[in-house]
Structure 1
Amino acid sequence: MKVESVLELEVYTQANAFDKLKHEWNDLLIRSQANTIFNTWEWHSTWWNIYRPGDLWIVICRDNSGKLIGIAPWFIDQGRVVRFIGCEDVTDYLDLIIDKKHIDIVLGHLANFLKENCAMYDHLDLCNIPAASSTLEKLPHLLQNNLFEVRTIRQDVCPIIEVPPTWEEYLQSLDKKQRHEIRRKLRRAEGVPDKIEWYTVDSSQNIQVEIERFFLLMAASDENKQLFLQNEAHKAFFRHMIPLVFEKGWLRLNFLTINDEPTAAYLNFVYDNQLLIYNSGLKIENYGHLSPGILLLVNNIQYAIDQGYKVVDFLRGNETYKYRMGGKDTEIFKLSAWCKQDG
């Protein structure tokens, strides 16, 4: 049944908003175009509880029956800028969460709301919006009709693999050189006397111990990652978020060991029939010649094929290895807007 008008807009400015919306949030997310792990109640509530970089400003829309049909998960930072909760260091995709049947009416109400309340902020800066989002397509025009100056820019790329049915078809999709390299590395690993094994964290392991093991490998792999982990808030976010998504069945945290020594790790998520390659760790001092990071990544891609997932998503960033493994660019955008005062 088409909604002719929205019963009400509600604004939440206190952290207990997440408790109040917990049982409706993910149900709406599944009905929206924004259905990614990064827009789940688990991700948003954890991010806000850890970082809290401003004043919460969640705006929700309900239809005439009281059903939740829209969430604008915003906050206003200390510079009076409206941002998405989650933006942007640890989060790859963000968007308004709107029931697909009611996108136009909800966006219209939100645009009007932003106009009516523009004294509360200086501008909007909404990051990590996927190229296919209706927000990106429709909200700029609605804001311009409300006398906003609007700008959208390409922010980053998220390379993906559209997963074929078989491993052999995947290899054939790569260029000849890369196909040869993968086969060569797999043969080399099979031919050495070293004991190479991998495992995926499950209920038989202590999840907090495995998180700390991942931190060690993550810090060892890259100076930037080491610097990132020096921020205690980042580590706190992971320590809280990972068990939550583990309980939901969305976590795929796996390790490659060589001679029982943890050497490579991938922190991935499984959500909506996709494998999301989120972060990694690598210690190559003794075993770099065996390419442990590539071996574990290949194992994850094989897993996605075996499970029949539709996409392997490498998420934000144009690192070379993503393209060598068959990644093709998708794009995310930033939407910025400034409210012009009437007259």
Structure 2
Amino acid sequence: MKLTFYDSVSLFADLADEWDLLLAESSANRVFSSYVWQTTWWEAYQPGQIWALAARDDNGTLQGIAPWFLCGRDPQALKVSQIGCVDVTDYLEVIVRKGQEEAVFTAFAEYIAAHTELYNILELCNIPESSPMLAWLPDLMRARALSCVQEIQDVCPVILLPDAWEDYVNSLDKKNRHELRRKLRRAGLVTWYIVGPDHDIEAEMERFFTLMRSSSSLKAEFLEDPHHAAFFSAVTPKLLEQRWLQLAFLMIGGKPAATYLNFIIGERVMVYNSGHNPDLSNYSPGIVLLARLIEYAIEHSYRTFDFLRGDEAYKYDLGGRDTQVYSLTIRAGAQD
């Protein structure tokens, strides 16, 4: 493997045509590691300085990207993290072509061990339990006299979807099955839609933000940060163009009652953020819309309905089962 170290945004220009092609052939094939997400996040937050690695084979074919950065502006801190870490991104990985994991991770580990003057600590977040990062990096780091601590960071409840809606409903325990059916009956005849290319995405996003703000003070406070608002406004039309965005609204009596902003890539639906109208909360609009989206996912042969990070009760009421998300902390020095 031939490695290139990047310390500037030339990373994005150099790899623009190859990034998502590699992503599609890796285990990291999620929206959060896409070129659109990574570049838009970087432009919105400007959190430090690029500190990234790219690996090519002898034929010049891109085989791996470690899209990392130095946090902050303090030259003494030298803390490396992943682009996108932590708050608005749920999964992050080193992007490695399947079948090339050993060669790429070995090359990255050798570079990290040989250049300890370039960092004090690597704090890598939001790593899904299935990531080859967890299978390869800890042992490779320790073999090179670096400390590598692996810890559970959070949980991501997921539903493995069956082939039919009734099979899904029947998979719930008796109490939750009864509650779901009761809420769907109480809501009555409601309408809902998914935003498509014929919609005005700016207007639909403003409707989404309005419902998100009204649903909780924490969400309203989150959106007061101009970086967050700028990021979401910039990234959503790009994701819609890629057909990775699923923005859905439930209407009751002609009024927006609930919304979900999800991502779809491959056979996975990822439930990213939501909002609801508190004046219509007696209809349980959020649960009703989620149920319709689960039914839609089953009808369209998606296999996984992923609630992303967090252990909120409704995720388990709807059948979610925990998967783990990990962090890796790497530093030169004594073995852990």
Which letter maps to 2:135? E
Residue 93 of structure 2: which of 92, 95, 115 is its match?
Answer: 95
Residue 336 of structure 1: which of 319, 329, 336 is its match?
Answer: 329
The alpha carbon displacement at 1:12 in A equals 1.8
Q: For 1:226-305, what aligned pairs fall within 5 Å after superposition?
A: 226-285=220-279, 287-305=280-298
Determine the structure 1 residue equivalent to 2:169. 171
Residue 316 of structure 2: which of 323, 326, 333 is its match?
Answer: 323
- Classify the secondary structure of the residue corresponding to 2:18: helix
Residue 54 of structure 1: which of 48, 52, 59 is its match?
Answer: 48
Comparing 31-40 with 156-165, which one deviates more in the overlay? 31-40
Which letter maps to 1:132? S
Asked if residue 111 in structure 1 is aligned to residue 109 in structure 2, the reply is: yes
TM-score by length of 2: 0.96
The alpha carbon displacement at 1:178 in A equals 0.8
Asked if residue 312 in structure 1 is aligned to residue 312 in structure 2, the reply is: no
Which letter maps to 2:137? L
Which letter maps to 2:321? K
- In 2, Cα distance between the equivalents of 1:19 and 1:281? 36
TM-score by length of 1: 0.94
Gaps (5+ residues) in structure 1? 1-5
Determine the structure 2 residue equivalent to 1:31. 25
Report the number of matched residues: 330
Determine the structure 2 residue equivalent to 1:3. none
- Classify the secondary structure of the residue corresponding to 2:321: coil
The alpha carbon displacement at 1:294 in A equals 0.9
- In 2, Cα distance between the equivalents of 1:176 and 1:198? 27
Q: For 1:62-211, what aligned pairs fall within 5 Å after superposition?
A: 62-78=56-72, 79-190=77-188, 196-211=190-205
Is the contact between residue 158 and residue 321 of structure 2 (CA under 8 Å) also seen in structure 1? yes
Gaps (5+ residues) in structure 2? none
The alpha carbon displacement at 1:26 in A equals 0.8
Which letter maps to 1:104? E
Spell out, residue by residue over 1:178-201, the C-alpha distance to the aligned partner (whole angstroms, 9 max, x if none): 1111111111222xxxx7321111
Determine the structure 1 residue equivalent to 2:215. 221
Runs of 4+ in structure 1 over 4 Å off:
none
- In 2, Cα distance between the equivalents of 1:131 and 1:293? 28
Which letter maps to 2:228? H
Comparing 13-22 with 294-303, which one deviates more in the overlay? 13-22
The alpha carbon displacement at 1:22 in A equals 1.2
The alpha carbon displacement at 1:105 in A equals 1.1
Which letter maps to 1:73? P
Asked if residue 11 in structure 1 is aligned to residue 8 in structure 2, the reply is: no
Which letter maps to 2:131? S
- Classify the secondary structure of the residue corresponding to 1:100: coil
The alpha carbon displacement at 1:118 in A equals 1.1
- In 1, Cα distance between the equivalents of 2:89 and 2:4? 25
- In 2, Cα distance between the equivalents of 1:288 and 1:133? 38
- In 2, Cα distance between the equivalents of 1:33 and 1:205? 32
- In 2, Cα distance between the equivalents of 1:171 and 1:143? 45
- Classify the secondary structure of the residue corresponding to 2:88: coil
- In 1, Cα distance between the equivalents of 2:65 and 2:3? 10
- Classify the secondary structure of the residue corresponding to 2:150: strand
Which letter maps to 1:232? P
Is the contact between residue 222 and residue 228 of structure 2 (CA under 8 Å) also seen in structure 1? yes
Comparing 311-320 with 259-268, which one deviates more in the overlay? 259-268
- Classify the secondary structure of the residue corresponding to 2:197: coil
Spell out, residue by residue over 1:27-77, the C-alpha distance to the aligned partner (whole angstroms, 9 max, x if none): 111111111111111111111111121110121000000000010000011
- In 2, Cα distance between the equivalents of 1:137 and 1:215? 39
The alpha carbon displacement at 1:275 in A equals 0.9
Spell out, residue by residue over 1:269-311, the C-alpha distance to the aligned partner (whole angstroms, 9 max, x if none): 11111111110001122x2211111111111001001001000
Spell out, residue by residue over 1:225-262, the C-alpha distance to the aligned partner (whole angstroms, 9 max, x if none): 11111101001110111011100011110111222211
The alpha carbon displacement at 1:340 in A equals 2.3
- In 1, Cα distance between the equivalents of 2:93 and 2:184? 40
Q: Percent identity?
A: 43
Is the contact between residue 50 and residue 69 of structure 2 (CA under 8 Å) also seen in structure 1? yes
Which letter maps to 2:289? L
CA RMSD of aligned residues (A): 1.2
- Classify the secondary structure of the residue corresponding to 1:262: strand
Which letter maps to 2:161? V
